[in-house]
Structure 1
Amino acid sequence: MVRNHYGYGLLLCLVFLQPAYAQTDNAKAAFAKHDYRAALLNWQAEQGDATAQYGLGRLYFFGLGVQPDFKQAVFWFREAADQNNPYAEFRLGLAYSLGDDEAAPDPEQANIWFQKAIAGLSKAAKNGDVMAQYLLGGMYSQGEGAVPDAMMANFWFQKAMGSFREAAEQGTTSAQYWLGQMYLNGQGVSRDVDQAIIWLSKAAEQNDLDAQLCLGEIYTYAQYDRKDSDLAIKWLTKAAEQGEPGAQKRLSAAYAARARPTDAATSAYWYRRATATEASSAATNSSSDAVKPINLPSSSKN
């Protein structure tokens, strides 16, 4: 199992869902809808394309639509990184810095790839790539591939925030989500949970699953000082109704924690829904050769 990464303050709001970078339309749309199997099939059909390779790495890294597989993730990230994809370079740095249950962290390799990522992301960021700007802010904040530099981190976070705000005010759902994240985590701005809720709510009302989940977490955990079980259940229900088993399990836990007279039965219902969804997905994946991992060449670095 890949260890969780807590960089950039994305503690509870699906750190892995970074929008991005010129994916094919079909794969991008499938990933955004959390249809990871469709994304997998699209990316597998485009082996040799750096963006598809990066996409495959993400699926294996986080176990989205497939079993988590650290070696497969590193293999695909390396394939994309060898084509100078800076996002893949960043993910390689992240993978090596974390390791997994079978591979110890490798700080030396992590630093090599983080340094490569900073160079590539800096070029993209200067050309207006908002996600590159955001990641650079995080890297300088965390000291990944560079000495920690609060001024540089703030510079890139503010660049990203300006771009996100402009798009968010025009109704772009993903920008509303990321602007909310930046307020929630105090990135380029003082932390402001109320502003975070405003922007996350705009995205959630457009049926953005990640925003709905994040609002559910905000209203669940005391650290945000906004605990409200009814609001948590409201947003988690909207997420769960989209069929994502992780959302269904969170909703089950929220009902169990609220513990009103009918909540135990409702909690059990959503837990059964989640396990049924997972079982169905596992059966579908195991029955198809198209979704099986490749046999890694012995020379691949992992």
Structure 2
Amino acid sequence: MRISDAIIVGTLLVLGCQPAAWAQDAVAGRAAPIPPRPIPGVALPEPETDDSAVPQPLAGGLTTAPAAPAPRAALPLAPFTNAREALRAWMRDKTAGDQVGAVRALEYAASQGHLTAQFKLGRMYAGGEGVPTNDLKAFEYFSKIADENADAIPGTADGRIVGSAFVALGGYFIDGIKGTYVKPNADRAFDMFHYAASYFGDPEGQYNLARLYMNGQGTPRDQRQAARWMKLAAEKGHVPARAVFGDMLVRGSDGVPRQVSQGLMWLSLARDAADPQRDAWILERYDAAFAAASAGDRSAALALVERQQQYTSGRIPPR
């Protein structure tokens, strides 16, 4: 699940995140999923201050007396008085092209516990957006979000951000971060993806969880569970999930009955939304499946695609 910059800018001035009960599972009458255990090692930046004004400890545990200020001298100030002011500065500096000032303001807001600022910084460091790429810093921002906001309400802006943070952590646990304490750990990756998928209903989490079931990473290989989670993501419009789920139906496997026309429908929907450069594999899977299908399956698939498009546009009610 991607969080667009438009959503981030729109929510940056909303401070904090509302604590919540396990709303989704309480409504469904099920036991709430247990959040994954906290992730150790988080060390995030604190607001910048003038260290010269802070008494320094001596060997005996005493502190030096601060230097006497000049008459009527102002006390040293933190860069900003609150997170809201820092976020306004971030938007102003970003617009003006002052990347250093923008990052400094965003880090201050993040240090004050602002959820969206923490997520934006994590994404910036993960992708090298205006800052040098630093996967460990990104991991630590996403970890802080996950550890402190696991009970965010699903379906809210906060819930979508926290779900995306869990997904990002799952990706880091799959491969690890070379030269750091973050080692490859398929079990932890499964925990992250499963929580994002089951509690937050995150389609990217559902897609990645399905892939773990398909490959037997962090969990026993289970094609039925893989198909279940892939279908949930596909129904939410996740393009790669539509392609993989369609391919699973076309081929069939243990626990997944072969349904060629249904599979072609999902592959067609994926092909229509795919980027020809980035998603060439989707086009290849569609072409291969369509070429091997019978005329009857092709015709049935086209009818299913049309019905799905009408349903998506609201022109017909769901079955």
Would the TM-score normalized by the shorter structure come out above 0.5? no
Structure showing greater radius of gyration is 2
TM-score normalised to structure 2 length: 0.41
